[in-house]
Amino acid sequence: MVYGDRRLKRGKSIRHPEKANLKLVRKKVSMYLIYIFTFLIIYTIFFSFVFKIEYIKIVGNDSINTQEIEDIIWEATDKNIFLFFDRNNYWLLSTDYLLDNVKKQFAFEDITITKKFPDTISLHVIERMGRLVWKTGPDYYVVDAYGVITRRLTEMRLVSSGDIPVMVNKAETEVLVGDTILTESMITSILEAYSYYNEYIDRDNIKFDRFEIDETEAGFYKIITRDGLEIHMNDQSSAVTQLSKLKRVVDTQNISIHNLSYINLRVENQVIYK
């Protein structure tokens, strides 16, 4: 019926209210189940122990202690993401993030980091061969044949073994892993000097102790004996040629080594001493 401009509509009646209520209950239950299922999936993936990193496998390291590398990985995984998510999780842990942390401590020739489902980190490394030990201040570093610092020494077995020479940086310049501190020609000269000296010159009155360098750019370095005698050398001429002059002087005993403070071998065909 119509009264003026107003219309009266009949309301719709529900013939089976019990079925409508059942549908509503089922809908609510389904929503709750979806919420619970979603929560369980999120919890399992990001928070449960199922995908927590438990194992680290390292292949290729020789002179570097496995524990040192593992400690860097575990320390990196111990940091949270956004103060909430645990980084020690297969899905959340970034291999690039791990790589950056390892490279801060070690300069490898090559390194590959992969994740093995569901709880393992795998590292394959190729080391740079250490050719000398670089001492600056209280810290010791390993240097390769290209003059690159490959790692910081945490124990002194390599230093005390005498297998490779120790170069003391008198300027105590701060360095970082990965820095190039010496030229290849300088490294070659130092290694030649170390080998020749120990084979042909090293004796009680002139025992080798260490190398020293004042400025890395100058191309000059020194051999320091246990008695404090300085033997001045350079990397422009052959280390063998320079030390051969010293050997002739020592063999002929033309000078008294004990009374000297330094011997300069840098000048061609001359031995200058004081």
Comparing 11 with 43, the larger pLDDT belongs to 43
Residue 260 and residue 193 share a domain: yes
Confirm whether 185 is domain-assigned. Answer: yes
Q: Give the pLDDT confidence score for residue 28 in this predicted structure.
A: 84
Report which DSSP code applies to 248: H
pLDDT at 9 over 70: no
Poorest-pLDDT segment among 64-68, 234-238, 247-251:
247-251
Q: Give the pLDDT confidence score for residue 108 in this predicted structure.
A: 95
What would the mean pLDDT of 8-25 be, rounded to a whole number? 64
Comparing 161 with 254, the larger pLDDT belongs to 161
Residue 175 and residue 106 share a domain: no
Q: Give the pLDDT confidence score for residue 3 in this predicted structure.
A: 47
Residue 162 and residue 134 share a domain: yes
Cα–Cα distance between 13 and 7 in angstroms, integer?
A: 19
What would the mean pLDDT of 162-172 be, rounded to a whole number? 93
Cα–Cα distance between 139 and 57 in angstroms, integer?
A: 29
Confirm whether 61 is domain-assigned. Answer: yes
pTM: 0.80
Residue 237 and residue 188 share a domain: yes
Give me the number of domains the chain comprises: 2
pLDDT at 10 over 70: no
The CATH number given to whatever domain includes residue 121 is 3.10.20.310
pLDDT at 175 over 60: yes
Residue 182 and residue 117 share a domain: no
CA 104, 177, 57: angle at the middle one, nearest 5?
Answer: 50
Residue 203 and residue 89 share a domain: no
Q: Give the pLDDT confidence score for residue 235 in this predicted structure.
A: 95
The burial class, CB within 10 Å (0-12 / 13-18 / 19+), for 115 is: middle
Q: Give the pLDDT confidence score for residue 25 in this predicted structure.
A: 79
The closest alpha carbon to 177, from 218, 128, 216, 138, belongs to 128
What would the mean pLDDT of 199-214 be, rounded to a whole number? 91
Last residue of a domain, which of 96, 126, 156? 126
Domain containing 223 equals: 130-273
pLDDT tens-digit profile of 117-164?
Answer: 999 999 999 999 999 999 999 999 999 999 999 999 988 888 888 889
Comparing 244 with 35, the larger pLDDT belongs to 244
Residue 140 and residue 103 share a domain: no
Residue 171 and residue 107 share a domain: no
pLDDT at 4 over 60: no
Residue 158 and residue 111 share a domain: no
Residue 162 and residue 239 share a domain: yes
What would the mean pLDDT of 63-86 be, rounded to a whole number? 89
- The β-bridge relationship of strands 166-169 and 130-136 is parallel
What would the mean pLDDT of 17-40 be, rounded to a whole number? 80
